[in-house]
Chain A
Amino acid sequence: MSSPDFSPVTVIGGGIAGATSAIALSRHGFPVTLIDEQPVAGGQIFRAPSPYARKIVPPNHEFSGGDTLRQKLAASNVDVRFSTRVWGLSPTLMLDLLGPDGINQLPAATLVVANGATERFLPFQGWTTPRIIGLAGASILMRNGGTLPGQSVVVAGSGPLLFSVAHQVLELGGRVVAIVDAGHRSDWLRLGAMLSLDPARLTQATSWMLRLKKAGIPIHHRAHISEAQETGTGLRLTVTEMDHPERRHVYATEAAACGYGLKPSTLITRTAGVQHRHDPVGGYLEPVTDTAGRTSRPDLYVTGDAAGIRGMAVARLRGLITAHAIAHDRGVISRDTYEALTRVPLRQRRRLEAVSRQMLPLMNAGSAIPAHLQDETIVCRCERVKAATLRSAIQAGAEDLNQLKAWTRCGMGPCQGRMCEDSARGLLAAACGKTPEEAGSFTARMPFFPLPLTAVTGDFTYSDIPLPKAAPL
């Protein structure tokens, strides 16, 4: 074993994976800095509830799990930087941060990226009304804010979040008008059969399903919202069956929550230049990693859902394994110790991952939808780009996602294409007979989110500006 290298480690993301990893790294003796945009740790699942939500949302595993994680972090030596967002980074892993004191830079010798997942959204006619929100957004609103998106809610899209959100609506006394799922019923049954491997999930899923059943909520499988119209008091939603487009169902509702599963957040890893691959089952781009989260860069690890969607139980195990792997790679622990420390987590993880993988096709069940978008449907909300505009650019020769972006502005707005990338890619791939991988991905650009101009300029006078020498006359 070479002499141990205790150079500092920077962790981006204080969710389950990142916080677990940071704590474990600090126990191994590394100086650890943990960065997260939220005011406290917890990430998406373990997000700290508002005092109001604590009062009215029934106690649950997410609240208690989050509290425990936050306590452990507080008791550790991890240097935490909350309310701090990474808005860019250089190839040398110099991080650009926006924190409570404005912008600054932080060099990272070793970086652990644990920035989690982003919800995938697929558009339909009329989706840009504020009465329609994402499933993940709806969940945060209810779980952590104690607020319903509307008294009546249509829950639509794909993946397990459908049932979790529907259950949360009932929990807060709302009415679930219908559940609209792009997935096959048979895929759910197959998942159900595997849940015995994950007893915690099994119990949870059983109680949700019983409750939804008792409430008599209509569930459509292989269906999607094809159109939303605003009425004076709410929405009129048309639901179309994917295999029988002539079969339609119309619902009146106050609000709708819609999302098509999760995908890894890759802005940071793509900017850092690590290798990525398109996962055909999940239908998303993910960094190429080994079991421990090692990437094509020796100084960069990815852990948790940022390395591929596997869910929260796996995220904790991944965070732990990544921390041990770094300790091993830096010569802090021996191979034997590494193996002893990771044997149980790896075994647990294999079992849980078998279930998680079964969820990927369910999350990606909407992949065929973008090919059939109506011409009038807005794909990119930020720049108001319609499907017809994309189709005519493709016809003029834009056969790569970045060229399509350059010619139509689709994906150039404040959200960096988070909302439109999947549908633009799906539409392009279908139109040119390409695989999603061939269609490409939007190039990541800085800043990753809109940055207040004054955060960059600060206080200054004219003479502070280092004016370059005059351009040639």
Chain B
Amino acid sequence: MTQALHTRPDVFDTVVVGAGVMGATTALFLARAGQKVALIDREDMFRAASGVNAGTLTLHMTRAQLIPHAIRGREMWLDSANWLGEDVGALATPGLSMAFTEAEEELLRQRARVRQEMGAPIEVLSAKETIRIEPGINPTLRAAAYCALDGHIPTYRVGGAYARALRQAGVTIIENSPVEGISPATGGGYEVRITGRAHPVRGHRIVLSTGAWLEKMLGWLGYDIPIRCLINQLVVTETLPPVMRSVLSIANGLLSLKQFANGSVLIGGGWQGEGNIHQGGTRVIPENLRGNVRLAQHVVPRLNEAQILRVWLGLESETPDAMPLIGALTPDEDAFVVGCIHSGFTSGPYMGRLLAERILGSDPDLGAFDPTRFSSLPATGTRP
């Protein structure tokens, strides 16, 4: 849906570039606070990472430092009826992270300890205790880390829910509009140029939230931050009788396994495919498909009855220190970024809201996420 743009463009309070969960949440809370907001995406909204992710609301796989944010993000998902306007079907379940070898058990205990310190309610269980909770697990396991706060969300329901909420909040949604350049406007603010459109979109302020495509865009504002693009593989099966209740993972974090209400099982964990972010197009690496699925079948042997329905790949972004980029890019506080957040779907609504609050003048602690930390530019940045 693209609302007609006037030939002489209005000036928006904020122009958000990138309509995934980060940009859309920021846009939503800014608009609700009374701002005039445009949200631009080069495709339809929620079609990149935020539309294809595994929907695990996990603390086991979140970076330890982000656990407080993930806990809040998870709560927001479970409470979506209240702030998003509709219940998107998030489900609270426990999460179990498993160890099958001695080395894995050691890793599991060490990681559980760090995450406990960051506030995750994780305890390590014996094999016997684990099997009592999840009878379908391979009995050769040695131990598992149990987290009471886990769960999942049917990702596909989120895009439509956001579209309705954004419209209701009065956000101007501009889809199928690749942004090809951003430059300071005379008299302040920015001009955002869209491929194939004569007139740029103008805003007093911009927010960059283009996920895996942030590197290039940050470059336009003078930032040189190498952003790694992960090409994550997901596999979904046809419906099966119930084989698990919890979200399952393994000690090193490279598995996520859950069964949705309709009985289909989603297998993920960040196994990689191939692709080129600039040219587009991704493809499955057969050994990685096999490895990922073997791991799943090892953990839940009854998956040997499953049929693989679909395999797909999605792009996720990571900074050199694997910590997010959230905050101001300029001393004038008129350009912001939000992205590169590990397990970002879980914490996305919370992170987006934090940035909106920051823009609206409050002062949440975003210190560790300061985008200027990689830059030779002074900590406050300079206006390009």
Q: Do A and B bind each other?
A: yes
B283 near A91 with CB under 8 A, answer yes
A273 to chain B: closest residue by CB: B281
| B309: interface (CB < 8 Å) | yes
Asked whether A473 and B286 contact (CB < 8 A) given A400-B44, A412-B310, A462-B298, the answer is no
B271 near A468 with CB under 8 A, answer yes
B44 near A462 with CB under 8 A, answer no
CA distance A91 to B279 in the complex (A): 13
| A456: interface (CB < 8 Å) | yes
A456 near B289 with CB under 8 A, answer yes
Q: Chain A residues with Cβ under 8 A from B283's Cβ?
A: 90-91
A467 near B254 with CB under 8 A, answer yes
CA distance A296 to B129 in the complex (A): 59
Q: Chain A residues with Cβ under 8 A from B160's Cβ?
A: 393, 396, 398, 407-408
CA distance A451 to B291 in the complex (A): 16
Q: Chain A residues with Cβ under 8 A from B163's Cβ?
A: 396-398
Q: Chain B residues with Cβ under 8 A from A409's Cβ?
A: 156
| A465: interface (CB < 8 Å) | yes
B252 near A407 with CB under 8 A, answer no
Interface residues of A in 419-473 (CB under 8 A from B): 445-447, 450-454, 456-458, 460, 462, 464-473
Interface string of A69-108 (1 = CB under 8 A from B): 0000000000000000000101100001000000001000
| B159: interface (CB < 8 Å) | yes
| Minimal beta-carbon separation of B79 from chain A (angstroms) | 21
9-residue interface stretch from B70-78, B202-210, B299-307: B299-307
B310 near A453 with CB under 8 A, answer no
Asked whether A403 and B111 contact (CB < 8 A) given A397-B1, A413-B309, A465-B295, the answer is no
Contact of A453 among B111, B173, B237, B270 (CB under 8 A): B237
| A399: interface (CB < 8 Å) | yes
A405 to chain B: closest residue by CB: B156
Interface string of B278-289 (1 = CB under 8 A from A): 000101101101
Asked whether A471 and B270 contact (CB < 8 A) given A406-B51, A453-B307, the answer is yes
Interface residues of B in 33-53 (CB under 8 A from A): 44-47, 51
Q: Chain B residues with Cβ under 8 A from A458's Cβ?
A: 290
B307 near A450 with CB under 8 A, answer yes
B308 near A403 with CB under 8 A, answer no
CA distance A409 to B262 in the complex (A): 12
CA distance A412 to B173 in the complex (A): 26
| Minimal beta-carbon separation of B335 from chain A (angstroms) | 27
Interface string of A327-338 (1 = CB under 8 A from B): 000000000000
B294 near A457 with CB under 8 A, answer yes
B290 near A456 with CB under 8 A, answer yes
Contact of A451 among B51, B298, B308 (CB under 8 A): B308
CA distance A471 to B318 in the complex (A): 12
Contact of A466 among B114, B286, B287, B297 (CB under 8 A): B287
A453 near B295 with CB under 8 A, answer no
Asked whether A447 and B291 contact (CB < 8 A) given A468-B272, A470-B254, the answer is no
CA distance A397 to B19 in the complex (A): 14
A-B contact count (CB 8 A): 131
CA distance A451 to B293 in the complex (A): 12
| B63: interface (CB < 8 Å) | yes
Q: Chain A residues with Cβ under 8 A from B272's Cβ?
A: 468
B310 near A471 with CB under 8 A, answer no
**Residue count of chain A within 8 Å CB distance of chain B:** 44
**Residue count of chain B within 8 Å CB distance of chain A:** 58
B287 to chain A: closest residue by CB: A466
Interface residues of A in 361-413 (CB under 8 A from B): 393, 396-400, 402-403, 406-409, 412-413
Contact of B342 among A91, A105, A457, A472 (CB under 8 A): A472
B308 near A450 with CB under 8 A, answer yes
Interface residues of B in 172-193 (CB under 8 A from A): 173, 175
Count chain B CB atoms within 10 A of each CB in A414, A458, A465, A469 and give the residue with the most.
Answer: A465
CA distance A472 to B295 in the complex (A): 19
| Minimal beta-carbon separation of B245 from chain A (angstroms) | 20
B253 near A398 with CB under 8 A, answer no
CA distance A473 to B251 in the complex (A): 11
Q: Chain A residues with Cβ under 8 A from B291's Cβ?
A: 465-467
A105 near B286 with CB under 8 A, answer yes
CA distance A104 to B90 in the complex (A): 38
B307 near A397 with CB under 8 A, answer no
CA distance A442 to B242 in the complex (A): 30
| Minimal beta-carbon separation of B361 from chain A (angstroms) | 31
Interface string of B55-73 (1 = CB under 8 A from A): 0000001011000000000
A460 near B342 with CB under 8 A, answer no
B284 near A471 with CB under 8 A, answer no
Q: Chain B residues with Cβ under 8 A from A90's Cβ?
A: 283
Q: Chain A residues with Cβ under 8 A from B293's Cβ?
A: 453, 456-457
Q: Chain B residues with Cβ under 8 A from A446's Cβ?
A: 284, 310-311
Q: Chain B residues with Cβ under 8 A from A454's Cβ?
A: 297, 304
Q: Chain A residues with Cβ under 8 A from B159's Cβ?
A: 403, 406-407
Q: Chain B residues with Cβ under 8 A from A396's Cβ?
A: 1, 160, 163-164, 167
CA distance A413 to B236 in the complex (A): 10
Q: Chain A residues with Cβ under 8 A from B44's Cβ?
A: 398-400, 402-403, 406
| Minimal beta-carbon separation of B155 from chain A (angstroms) | 9
B253 near A397 with CB under 8 A, answer no
B51 to chain A: closest residue by CB: A406
CA distance A398 to B162 in the complex (A): 12
A394 to chain B: closest residue by CB: B1
CA distance A460 to B237 in the complex (A): 20
Q: Chain A residues with Cβ under 8 A from B369's Cβ?
A: none
Q: Chain A residues with Cβ under 8 A from B238's Cβ?
A: 414, 450
Q: Chain B residues with Cβ under 8 A from A412's Cβ?
A: 156, 310
Q: Chain B residues with Cβ under 8 A from A469's Cβ?
A: 252
Q: Chain A residues with Cβ under 8 A from B304's Cβ?
A: 453-454, 457
Interface residues of B in 111-153 (CB under 8 A from A): 111, 114, 140
A473 near B294 with CB under 8 A, answer no
CA distance A250 to B140 in the complex (A): 62
Q: Chain B residues with Cβ under 8 A from A407's Cβ?
A: 156-157, 159-160
Interface string of B79-122 (1 = CB under 8 A from A): 00000000000000000000011000001000100100000000
| B322: interface (CB < 8 Å) | yes
A462 near B310 with CB under 8 A, answer no
B107 near A470 with CB under 8 A, answer yes
Q: Chain A residues with Cβ under 8 A from B298's Cβ?
A: 460, 462, 465
CA distance A211 to B47 in the complex (A): 54
CA distance A456 to B289 in the complex (A): 8
CA distance A67 to B286 in the complex (A): 38
CA distance A96 to B51 in the complex (A): 26
Contact of A473 among B100, B111, B290, B295 (CB under 8 A): B111
Interface string of A233-258 (1 = CB under 8 A from B): 00000000000000000000000000
A407-B156, A407-B160 known; 9 other A-B pairs, CB under 8 Å?
A396-B167, A402-B44, A403-B47, A412-B310, A445-B312, A450-B308, A452-B308, A453-B293, A468-B254
11 contacts between A and B (CB under 8 A): A402-B44, A406-B44, A407-B159, A413-B309, A445-B310, A445-B312, A447-B309, A452-B307, A453-B293, A468-B252, A471-B254
**Closest CB pairs A-B (n = 6):** A397-B1, A471-B253, A450-B307, A470-B252, A407-B160, A403-B44
